[in-house]
């Protein structure tokens, strides 16, 4: 597990957290709209250093975040657009826990590793014993927007030799065949990237961006993750654009990979499937934000989730009534 | 009392859960409206994914007792091989719930039990000899004099037939079960849904006393 916990103060719609949020190796965050799910994921996306490049967009993580939903203005990431955002994480690397603090106001950004002053990327490299490339590859954030598809295609092209060398171009076509009615034999690095479709007496090349956006996103994300093998994968609104069969397959695929996965969802299907596939060290975190924007949360184990689903209780509705 | 499915009601008094499905929700909604329709809040957060789980649904108490200390559990009659009250008590003990007291309310019962330091009042409603559609068939007879034949071997085809015939009548009358219950008097409802009504009546009475 890469990131063990997070605490948030003054960031986006969150004034502060009632308790530190402890994460697990496979964490699923649920909660009403505007309960803080995306804010938590965005805060995590700044790891391990906000001034590193985001692996997909190739812009600085903090800049990517503010451009993503916030008109490019840093102060829009601040709670009520003023003050200082304080994000505190415990990450585990090389079997040691390390505390990282990120603080920023509308003018300045600081990142402290435990015991350090404002630490630059070089300091992060030495503390985490990773070169800049691995630092950048350590955390992948997939926001809920189709705007990333173009950037993902660029990354696929960047890594095309590795993708081909490791056989992912065939693996991904075979994965795609499991949830579409067509049959593809491989990904081909034309412009744009295409899939070779097998017909009875012929073969044609179909641009990958002609797939539905859900299928396109999954194939591109999987290609990236396969080659960079990150430490942490963060996916906002996991099921967005997915047919349940694709959702099931992607969830199961994530479960079998060795990185830490943190997703948010509104889907009861995701929760139901989670019980069936039973990822190791999985937990469900249910968020609730009070009127004064204090974030509280409840954690459920998979066993508890299964018990609740077996009573035909919708876990998304449980506890809200009590203001938890 | 009133039944809410969603979460925007502060401090609900009871959580309702079932190892069955949506019909139980619709019946409860109608009955809650008839029994006062306000004051006591029943929270029935039914999932859209229905699992038929019978007694296994009781395991949820281990988690829901963090949030609620009053619960209503609805279960079909055909879940039981032996005496329901014994089977439920055995199941609860098996999942680490200590039973303090059991009170019969017609053929339903109220179990006072403990999970850790939480004291729980668990009302158990057994619907039908086999399933809830028998009770709806009874209501249809009382309301419109239409006979749905519930004789025969109570196997899966039998259940499907009863369900189909019940739905057919409701469709012909262009009414949903919830609305039918809402426009039916308590006397008929107490005959058709004896255990549901006995429990809801008891809850209302206890509330009035306090």
Give the model's pLDDT for residue A319: 64
B8 vs A contacts (CB less than 8 Å) = 320-321
DSSP one-letter code for A54: P
Which residues in B lie closer than 8 A to residue A315 (C-beta atoms)? Answer: 47
Q: Which is nearest to A127 in space by CA: A159, A91, A164?
A: A91
* pLDDT tens digits, one per residue of B159-208: 999 999 999 999 999 999 999 999 999 999 999 999 999 999 999 988 88
The answer, yes or no, to whether residue A268 has pLDDT greater than 80, is yes
ipTM metric: 0.87
Q: Residue range A23-48: average pLDDT?
A: 95
Give me the pLDDT at residue B8, please. 66
Closest Cα partner for A204 from A218, A219, A188, A220?
Answer: A188
Instruction: For residue A317, list chain B residues with Cβ-Cβ distance below 8 A.
Output: 5-7, 43, 45
A276 sits in which H/E element: helix A268-277
Euclidean distance between CA atoms A236 and A191, whole angstroms: 29
Joined together, the tokens standing for residue A209 give 């961006």
- Residue B22 CB coordination number (10 Å): 14
Query: Contacts of residue A313 in chain B, CB cutoff 8 Å?
Result: 15, 17, 45-47, 60, 64
In A, minimum Cα distance to B17 occurs at: A311
Please indicate whether, in this complex, the C-beta atoms of A311 and B58 are within 8 angstroms of each other: yes
Q: In chain B, which residues touch A (CB < 8 A)?
A: 4-12, 15, 17-21, 43, 45-51, 53, 56-60, 62-64, 66-68
**A236 closest CA partner among A259, A211, A267:** A267
* A29: helix, strand or coil: strand
SS3 content of chain B, % helix, strand, coil (to 5): 45, 20, 30
Percentage of chain A beyond pLDDT 70 is 98
Asked if pLDDT for residue A323 goes beyond 50, the answer is no
Is A291 an 8 Å CB contact of chain B? no
CB atoms B62 and A318 under 8 Å: no
Q: What is the pLDDT of residues B26-44, one digit of tens each?
A: 999 999 999 987 889 999 9
Contacts of B72 in chain A (CB under 8 A): none
How much is the average pLDDT of A118-138? Answer: 87
Task: Mutate one of A31, A248, A303, A311 to test the B interface: name it (highest B CB count within 10 A).
Answer: A311
The predicted-structure confidence for B58-102, as pLDDT tens digits, reads as follows 999 999 998 899 999 999 999 999 999 999 999 999 999 999 999
Contacts with A234 (C-beta within 8 Å, 6 or more apart), sequence order: A41, A44, A45, A139, A140, A141, A142, A262, A263
pLDDT, position A322: 46
| Chain B residues inside the 8 Å CB shell of A324 | 67
> What pTM did the predictor assign?
0.91
Q: What is the model's pLDDT at position B139?
A: 97
Q: Can you say how many angstroms the Cα of residue A192 is from the centroid of all Cα atoms in its chain? A: 25
Q: What is the pLDDT of residue B9?
A: 67
Does the beta carbon of A322 lie under 8 angstroms from any beta carbon of chain B?
Answer: yes
Where would I find the beta strands (DSSP E) of A94-193? Answer: 96-104, 109-113, 139-142, 184-188
Is A313 at the interface with chain B, CB within 8 A?
yes
Q: Is the pLDDT of residue A324 over 50?
A: no
The confidence band for A131, taking pLDDT boundaries of 50, 70 and 90, is confident
Burial B116-142 (b: 16+ CB within 10 A, else e): eeeebbbbbbbbbebbbbbbbbbbbbb
Q: What is the pLDDT of residues A159-215, one digit of tens each?
A: 999 999 999 999 999 999 998 888 999 999 999 999 999 888 888 999 998 888 899
Q: Where are the beta strands (DSSP E) in chain A?
A: 3-11, 14-17, 21-22, 26-31, 85-93, 96-104, 109-113, 139-142, 184-188, 194-198, 203-207, 232-235, 260-264, 282-289, 294-301
Local structure of A78: helix, strand or coil: strand
For B6, the closest of A307, A317, A319 (CB atoms) is: A317
d(CA B115, CA B162): 39
Res B149 pLDDT > 60? yes
| Cα separation, A140 vs A228, whole angstroms | 9
Nearest residue on chain A to B9, alpha-carbon basis: A321
pLDDT digits (tens, 9 = 90+) for A55-101: 999 999 999 998 887 678 888 999 999 999 999 999 998 888 989 99
Determine the pLDDT at residue A68: 84
Distance separating alpha carbons of residues A89 and B87, to the nearest angstrom: 49
- Write the CB contacts of B14 (distance below 8 Å, at least 6 apart in sequence): B40, B41, B42, B43, B68, B70, B71, B72, B123, B203
Structural domains of chain B ordered from first start? 2-130+177-209 (3.40.50), 132-172 (no CATH)
Mean pLDDT, rounded, of chain A = 92
The pLDDT of B93-122, averaged and rounded, is 94
Closest Cα in chain A to B74 = A311
Give yes or no for a contact between A193 and A157, defined as CB atoms under 8 angstroms apart: yes
């Amino acid at each position: 597990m890469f990131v063990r916990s997070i605490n948030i103060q003054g960031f986006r719609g969150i004034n502060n957290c009632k308790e530190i949020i402890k994460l697990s190796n496979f964490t699923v965050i649920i909660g009403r709209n505007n309960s803080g799910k995306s804010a938590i994921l965005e805060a995590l996306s700044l790891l391990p250093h906000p001034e590193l490049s985001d692996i997909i967009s190739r812009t600085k993580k903090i800049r990517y975040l503010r451009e993503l939903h916030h008109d490019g203005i840093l102060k829009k990431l601040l709670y009520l657009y003023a003050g200082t955002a304080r994000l505190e994480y415990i990450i585990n690397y090389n079997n040691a826990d390390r505390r990282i603090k990120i603080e920023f106001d509308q003018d300045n950004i600081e990142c402290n590793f435990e015991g350090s002053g404002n630490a630059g990327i070089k300091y992060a490299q030495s503390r985490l014993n990773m070169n800049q490339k691995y630092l950048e590859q350590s955390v992948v954030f997939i926001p809920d927007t189709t705007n990333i598809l173009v950037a993902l295609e660029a990354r696929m092209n960047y890594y095309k030799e590795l993708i081909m060398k490791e056989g992912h171009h065939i693996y991904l076509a075979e994965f795609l065949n499991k949830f579409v009615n067509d049959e593809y034999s491989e990904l081909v690095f034309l412009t744009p990237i295409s899939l070779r479709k097998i017909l009875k007496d012929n073969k044609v090349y179909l641009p990958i961006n002609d797939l539905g956006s859900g299928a396109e996103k999954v194939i591109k994300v999987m290609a990236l993750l396969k080659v960079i093998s990150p430490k942490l994968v963060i996916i906002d609104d996991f099921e967005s654009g997915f047919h349940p069969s694709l959702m099931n397959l992607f969830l199961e695929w994530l479960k079998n990979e060795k990185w830490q996965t943190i997703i948010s969802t509104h889907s009861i299907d995701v929760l139901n499937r989670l019980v069936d596939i039973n990822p190791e060290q999985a937990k469900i975190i249910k968020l609730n934000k009070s009127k004064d924007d204090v974030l509280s949360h409840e954690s459920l184990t998979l066993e508890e989730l299964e018990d609740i689903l077996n009573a035909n209780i919708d876990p998304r509705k449980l506890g809200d009534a009590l203001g938890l | 009392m009133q039944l809410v499915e969603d979460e925007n009601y502060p401090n609900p008094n009871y959580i309702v859960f079932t190892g069955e499905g949506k019909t139980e929700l619709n019946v409860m909604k109608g009955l809650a409206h008839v029994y006062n329709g306000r004051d006591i809040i029943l929270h029935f957060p039914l999932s859209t994914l229905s699992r038929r789980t019978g007694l296994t649904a009781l395991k949820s108490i281990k988690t829901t007792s963090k949030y609620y200390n009053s619960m209503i559990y609805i279960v079909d009659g055909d879940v039981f091989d032996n005496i329901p009250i014994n089977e439920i008590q055995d199941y609860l003990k098996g999942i680490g719930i200590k039973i303090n007291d059991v009170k019969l309310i017609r053929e339903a019962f109220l179990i006072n039990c403990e999970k850790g330091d939480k004291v729980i009042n668990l009302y158990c409603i057994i619907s039908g000899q086999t399933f809830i559609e028998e009770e709806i068939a009874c209501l249809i007879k009382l309301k419109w004099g239409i006979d749905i034949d519930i004789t025969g071997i109570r196997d899966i085809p039998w259940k499907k037939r009863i369900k189909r015939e019940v739905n057919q009548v409701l469709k012909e009358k262009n009414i949903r079960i919830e609305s039918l219950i809402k426009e039916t008097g308590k006397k008929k409802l107490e005959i058709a849904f004896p255990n549901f009504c006995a429990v809801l009546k008891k809850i209302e009475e206890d509330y009035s006393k306090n």
